[in-house]
Amino acid sequence: MKLFDVYPLNNITITKASGSYVWDDNQVKYLDMYGGHAVISIGHTHPHWVKSIEEQLHEIAFYSNSVIIPIQQQLADTLGRVSGKDTYQLFLCNSGAEANENALKLASFHNGKKKIVAFSKSFHGRTSLAVAATDNKNIVAPVNETDNIIFLPFNDENALQQCFEQYGNEITAIIIEGIQGVGGINVANNSFLQLIRNLCDTYNAVYIADSVQCGYCRSGKFFAHDYAGVNADIYSMAKGMGNGFPIGGILIAPHLQAKHGMLGTTFGGNHLACAAALAVLEVIETEKLMHNANELGAYLMEQLIAIEGLQNIRGRGLMIGFDLSDELKDLKKQLLFGQNIFTGEAKPNVIRLLPSLAITKMQIDEFLEGLKNAIKVIQG
Ligand SMILES: Cc1ncc(COP(=O)(O)O)c(C=O)c1O
């Protein structure tokens, strides 16, 4: 049977991983500045994470959500403490799209309204409402098209204000990434997020903070939205939550009340996924990875600014992007095949850096050296 041709592939087979490194089937070692698409939070195959999953696997991997699963409560308690959102409620699912899908659905159940505000260059996932709220027509199937999404320019306060003056009573939710990932590392202004909070309060709409990529300490705070000093009503999470074990979830503010039948999932919150997610939070706490993301992110940013040819360096913590001049448009390829360094990209000509939050200064220096070499090679 053939695999469905979903992705353009690099001709590399990764067979081993540890910390911030991966190895291919020819034992070639690569520095992972991409974190497998922002998924690797505590480092590949972290020993505490491996041990927790292994031990859980010997006890029980799965039972349905029709019984009490105590490790879900353990995860909720730890997540509440580490994120600082301990008054919120936790719903567990399996991916980022599913988290956003449930967030949007819950908002509409809550206030009975239908319209959703989303922003230019947003990415919220590939299913139903999540893809409809994603600003990329190429990935929206005709069946996903809906008149219920209003797209506005990112960070445009006037447009947002005007939109609410016109449609405020019909808007169920605003969904926004604290730092746009797929869109090219665009940071939401604090004043923009504060305005969202105000408008949601005034018009009884739900502020959904898509933290699937920018959450879980990647920005140097638990949620990138926290920089604005206001709380969202729902935070969606996935990627870094399981360090590669599939798990997603939403944090739900106390005033949004649960009713049986609103949400549900077969696999969400299974024992094994919870063991992985709990181990991630334990490592984030014991190894002070939020602090590391802050410190080393600032160091990396400062060093990048000093490199000629990189433009518009931006981001927060260990979620950093920069634009490339046309001359450097093949930099990502040169980094991968010339310097053995994985990075991310966004169209057109943006490099995205999303390394493990446990990356060391030495590894960042190794990256900077490789980056300078790659630029030299391209410039001849
Ligand atoms: C901000 C954001 N939201 C949602 C998603 C969708 O997550 P998933 O691929 O786990 O469905 C992504 C994935 O890249 C994302 O970056």
CB 321 within 8 A of CB 346: yes
Q: Phi/psi of residue 228, each to 5°?
A: -80, -10
- Pick from 94, 124, 243 the residue to mutate for probing ligand 1's pocket: most ligand atoms within 8 Å of its CB: 124
By C-alpha distance, which of 287, 274, 289 is closest to 52?
Answer: 274
Q: Which residue has the higher pLDDT, 341 or 309?
A: 341
Domains and CATH numbers, the chain: 14-44+306-379 (3.90.1150.10), 47-286 (3.40.640.10)
What ligand 1 atom has the least distance to the C-alpha of 181? 16
Task: Classify residue 380 by burial, with Cβ atoms within 10 Å: 0-12, 13-18, 19+.
Answer: exposed
Does residue 347 carry a pLDDT above 90?
A: no
Neighbours of 320 (CB within 10 A): 21
- The pLDDT assigned to 298 comes to 98
- The pLDDT assigned to 84 comes to 98
CA of 56 to the centre of ligand 1 (A): 27
- The pLDDT assigned to 41 comes to 98
Q: Is the CB of 121 under 6 A from ligand 1?
A: no
Mean pLDDT taken over the chain: 98
- Pick from 123, 236, 265, 319 the residue to mutate for probing ligand 1's pocket: most ligand atoms within 8 Å of its CB: 123
Q: Is the CB of 131 under 6 A from ligand 1?
A: no
- The pLDDT assigned to 167 comes to 97
CA of 38 to the centre of ligand 1 (A): 10
The pairing of strands 206-210 and 186-187 is: unpaired
Average pLDDT in the 121-132 region? Answer: 98
Q: Is the CB of 133 under 6 A from ligand 1?
A: no
Alpha carbon nearest to ligand 1 atom 9, residue: 96
- The pLDDT assigned to 307 comes to 95
Residue 47: cis peptide before it, omega within 30 degrees of 0: no
Q: Is the CB of 178 under 6 A from ligand 1?
A: no
Q: Is the CB of 218 under 6 A from ligand 1?
A: no
What ligand 1 atom has the least distance to the C-alpha of 180? 1
Alpha carbon nearest to ligand 1 atom 7, residue: 96
Using the 8-state DSSP alphabet, how is residue 138 labeled?
A: G
What ligand 1 atom has the least distance to the C-alpha of 95? 10
- Return d(Cα 227, Cα 122) in angstroms, integer: 19
Report the percentage of the chain scoring pLDDT > 70: 100
CB 344 within 8 A of CB 34: yes
Average pLDDT in the 126-146 region? Answer: 97
The pairing of strands 248-252 and 89-93 is: antiparallel
> CA 229: distance to chain centroid?
19
Region of residue 125 (left: phi > 0; alpha: psi -120 to 50; beta: else): left
Secondary structure of residue 1 in the 3-state scheme = coil
DSSP secondary structure, 52-121, as one string:
HHHHHHHH-S---TTS--HHHHHHHHHHHHHHS-TTSEEEEESSHHHHHHHHHHHHHHHH---EEEEETT
CA of 172 to the centre of ligand 1 (A): 21
Q: Is the CB of 213 under 6 A from ligand 1?
A: yes
Secondary structure of residue 153 in the 3-state scheme = coil
CA of 213 to the centre of ligand 1 (A): 7
Q: Is the CB of 92 under 6 A from ligand 1?
A: no
Does residue 348 carry a pLDDT above 90?
A: no
- Pick from 34, 154, 213, 223 the residue to mutate for probing ligand 1's pocket: most ligand atoms within 8 Å of its CB: 213
Average pLDDT in the 225-241 region? Answer: 98
Q: 151: which residues sit within 8 A by CB, 6+ positions away?
A: 118, 119, 120, 122, 135
Average pLDDT in the 51-72 region? Answer: 98
pLDDT band of 230, cuts 50, 70, 90: very high
Alpha carbon nearest to ligand 1 atom 3, residue: 124
pLDDT band of 275, cuts 50, 70, 90: very high
- Return d(Cα 148, Cα 171) in angstroms, integer: 9
